[in-house]
Amino acid sequence: MTSSTDTRTFAIGGDLPVRRLGYGTMQLTGPGHWDLPADPDAARRLLRAAVHDHGINHLDTADAYGPHTVETLIREALHPYPDDLLIATKGGLLRPGPNIWRPCGRPEYLTQCAELSLRRLRIDTLDLYYLHRIDPQVPLADQLGVLVDLQSAGKIRHIGLSKVTVDQLEQARAITDIAAVQNQHTVTSTDPVLGYCETNGLAYVAYKPFDAGITLPTANDPTAAPGPVETLRTLLARSPAMLVIPGTASAEHLRTNCSADHQVSAN
């Protein structure tokens, strides 16, 4: 659901209001999204700037980023956290090496992922916890069932899914409530999941909105595509259920991205 007075916000799960423009933290890692970035202090400063200087109150991360390093950087930079800050994290991928991502939906592994995320972030409840990928080798009811158990224990507030189709989302919602879906989405994307989320009151969280830079202008062809601010505003205007989490390791790019929702109209 959206706020009735400010189209720049969305209440995830009906009770977690956040700016629809957030910050994705995957770039705060080393090459191949492996280990620490070259300058961990700069990464911590960027996180503090996003929250304290630019008013971002939705950070997206995952235990697989590093792996484990970005959750730790978030804690080191921002704990104790502002009351209105949503740290969404994810579990369910194995990281045996740089640029290698493998789904693992075994219930015991998902339990371990969530418990260690709680410890690294130094929190008691994961407000929004995504199944990072559905593991085709494990029944979906088993994967979501363990997240429901953690939710019943007070360790997860809302459950989300990442990289899913409408069919998968409907199967999941037959098992438990889903508050958010995270799919890749750019200005050229057509994803029926977006319409489904809007109709059913779910947050649709778009990652890699610039397609890892492919849709951005270059020095050789500055008119090839809209710039970052126009791209983000176009996406935010696409649906009131659309949330966007551009990622960057650059303070300058962060400032530019964070200006994109300033002209989203209130009604």
Short-list 209, 235, 231, 236, CA closest to 7: 236
Task: Give the DSSP H or E segment for 110.
Answer: helix 107-121
Cα–Cα distance between 13 and 201 in angstroms, integer? 8
> By the 8 A CB rule, do 113 and 91 touch?
yes
- Identify whether 65 is a catalytic site residue: yes
Quote the tokens at residue 253: 């790019």
> By the 8 A CB rule, do 205 and 181 touch?
yes
Give me the catalytic one of 65, 129, 196, 204. 65
Quote the tokens at residue 103: 């789904």
> At a CB cut-off of 8 Å and minimum separation 6, what does 224 contact?
217, 218
First CA to last CA across the chain, in angstroms?
15
Q: How many helices (H) and strands (E) does the chain have?
A: 8, 12
> What is the set of active-site residues?
65
